[in-house]
Chains A and B, each alone.
Chain A
Amino acid sequence: MLMRTNQMAANTSVAGSDKARPAVQLDGVTKRFGDSIALHEAWLKIGSSEFMTLLGPSGCGKTTLLNLVAGFLEADGGEIFIEGALVTETPPHMREIGIVFQNYALFPHMSVAKNVAYGLKTRGVDKKEMARRVDDALALVKLTGFSDRKPRQLSGGQQQRVALARALVIKPKVLLLDEPFSALDKNLRGSMQVELKQIQRELGVTTIFVTHDQGEALSMSDRIAVMSAGRIRQIAAPDDIYRRPADRFVASFVGDANVLNGRLVERSGDAAVVSIGDVRASVPAASIAEVSIGGSVDVFVRPEHLSVTSRGASGSLPGTVTTQVFQGGHVDLYIDAPGSARDHILLRSPGIAALSSCPVGAEIGLSIGSDDIVAFPPGEAP
């Protein structure tokens, strides 16, 4: 096994994509449940101190991947490394990982302090040191003075803090977070996200965060791996994921997107020009490489990249406002634009001006901002 590890390490250094050794590395990891493939050849490198999010709908394989890294599931193929060491067959209790579960899984028969101390006890840390580290961990999550409480006497947010302290106190090589915010109410969720991100940055702990919430993923991550149907579709920084989605799935799962009917006009190098009605837009050429000139494409435009102009203005699409939704900071307009799009087009207008300027039934022109428009070969909505 040692020889194999060295070999693999040699291979990676030859590949030489990362200078530093990745904290977690998955090489073609596959997991099957019976006949169905839960995870299909996942390749992933997570840097030291990186906050990596696995984002996808339920059943996409993100939790399977997390369980494989934790060791609760055994891979059917591929290898997993943690800090360069092969751990594919290492049992969970020898992997030195910290986990925060969706339901926190605080031991109900132990006090807060005993919960936090559990991982130190298994490591045979002496009493004095243990007490000090438990106190430090509770201070870190702002729960000093809660040592003697039982988990059931804590609120959801406090339970989550204890779970975080329990996972962090052992100085894990990787921190795994399995949808930790889904049980919290919306206001608390926001503040816990900020706090967790702060703690993670402060400690520099490598983190894998599993969520189906794109907002959480975009706001907290250093990088996001978007997953669907057992495959990793794209691994990139949040803004790249949002601005340059690799495929239709990513484009429609992360953020809102309007799908407009377009045609490929020309292609030059990395860029291509597509037309939507009379409007022309520049898009990356790579994603529509197999479409021939004149062929139809689906053009993905974010709601905030659309704006309202007068009907008939040059470079605009005709449309009719069908619904106004006041969202506080912005107004969502649903626009019927037959010919340009199969479904209603969503336009996000900042401020409240659109409430009066674009009443329901108003005939308007739609203009498309030039940034961050992507096109894919035509297909069914994913």
Chain B
Amino acid sequence: MNTRPFLGWFVSPAGLVAVALVAAMLAVFQYSVRAYIPGSLEVSEFTWQNFAAMLRPLYALAFWNTVLLCFETAVFTLILAYPLAYALVRTNSSALRSFILIVSVTPLFLGEVVRTYSWMIVLGNNGFLNTLLLKLGLLDRPVQMMFTAGGVVAALVHVTMPIMVIMLAAALSHIDRNYEKAAESLGAGPVRVFLTITLPLSMPGIVAGFSTAFAWTFSAFATPQLIGGGRVSTVSTLIYQLGFSSFNFPFAASLSIIGLALSLAVVALLKKAASPLERMAATT
């Protein structure tokens, strides 16, 4: 205790935040087990009814859609971010490195709403992409991209890219180049070196980036709301509709609880699947 006299002071703000968070979560949980009084913000007696209602196809489907959306987003983000992260770590050109950093990280500073709005401009029926494809003669009439799951995934991939690039780059930069050199000297060409050495050794970063992208997308609201326009329902848009259009706080609260539990479960599962890989990486 005496060796770190200021520890208590330094930790106290974090403690305050933690207490507030726990209190808020308890409040949400409290709401989730109360009965809804239509037309009123007041809630009535204790009930598990809200959770039982979630088994109805409409809501179960929203959960399933959300998981699918998160999965797709994480997969596409990974596929797009890996080459960027690889180039970022491995290039000798500082100009290229700066370019990749700027392109991949600046979206982080723009905020989700601004980025989503840009995507609406790109994806609309008279938007950038459709206009371009029509002008090039690749399409004869606009393709519907707004208000589709595909559009939502495209925008979410963009939102998730920076964090994925950063996590992958961190993992890749920790791989000792001598592993690759050793493999090369043993007769492995570039593709074989990548598949047998670089890729497996970057697995901890892949898993970390994938779970982060998954959890991040699960809680994304602005993008599915604006680009999905109510036609792509996810857990977070559903919570919004129930909570702030129908003012059914109890049901919105129970959706939140289950959503949180589901996303924690998925991340924990990914973490468990990755633990042997991480143990391995820790010793490299």
Contacts and interface: CB of A to CB of B under 8 A. Distances in A.
Given A105-B176, A152-B283, A97 B200 contact: no
B185 A93 contact: yes
A119 B187 contact: yes
A283 interface: no
A194 to B, nearest CB: 25
Given A98-B186, A99-B185, A107-B179, 6 more contacts: A72-B184, A105-B176, A105-B181, A109-B200, A118-B186, A150-B280
A170 B182 CA distance: 12
A345 to B, nearest CB: 44
A119 B187 CA distance: 6
A123 interface: yes
A119 B179 contact: no
B188 interface: yes
Interface of B: 176, 178-179, 181-189, 192-193, 196-197, 200-201, 280-281, 283-284
Nearest to B187: A122
Contacts of B200: 109
A239 B181 CA distance: 34
A72 B193 CA distance: 14
A313 B140 CA distance: 110
B179 A105 contact: yes
B188 to A, nearest CB: 5
Nearest to B186: A119
Contacts, number: 69
A56 B281 CA distance: 34
Contact of A103 (B178, B193, B197, B280): B178
A49 B283 CA distance: 36
Determine which residue in A71, A72, A96, A166 has the highest number of CB atoms from chain B within 10 A of its CB, and name it.
A72
B181 A70 contact: yes
B283 A108 contact: yes
Q: At the interface, is chain B mostly helix, strand, loop or mixed?
A: helix
B179 A92 contact: no
B75 to A, nearest CB: 23
B201 A108 contact: yes
Contact of B178 (A95, A101, A150, A167): A101
Contact of A108 (B184, B185, B284): B284
A67 to B, nearest CB: 9
Interface string A255-289: 00000000000000000000000000000000000
Contact of B186 (A71, A72, A170): A170
Contacts of A118: 183, 186, 188, 196
Interface string A79-111: 000000000000111111111010101011100
Given A107-B197, A152-B283, A70 B176 contact: no
A95 B181 CA distance: 12
A123 B201 CA distance: 22
A362 to B, nearest CB: 53
A150 B186 CA distance: 19
Contacts of B283: 108, 152
Interchain residue pairs A-B with the least CB separation, the first 7: A119-B186, A105-B178, A122-B187, A152-B283, A92-B184, A105-B182, A108-B284
Nearest to B189: A93
Contact of A109 (B186, B189, B201): B201
Interface in A223-282: none
Nearest to B192: A122
A191 B200 CA distance: 35
A99 B182 contact: yes
A107 B183 contact: yes
Interface in A57-78: 70-72
B182 A107 contact: yes
Nearest to A96: B187
Nearest to A97: B185
9 contacts: A72-B181, A93-B185, A97-B185, A98-B186, A105-B178, A107-B179, A108-B284, A118-B183, A118-B188
Interface in A112-166: 118-119, 122-123, 150, 152, 166
B115 to A, nearest CB: 37
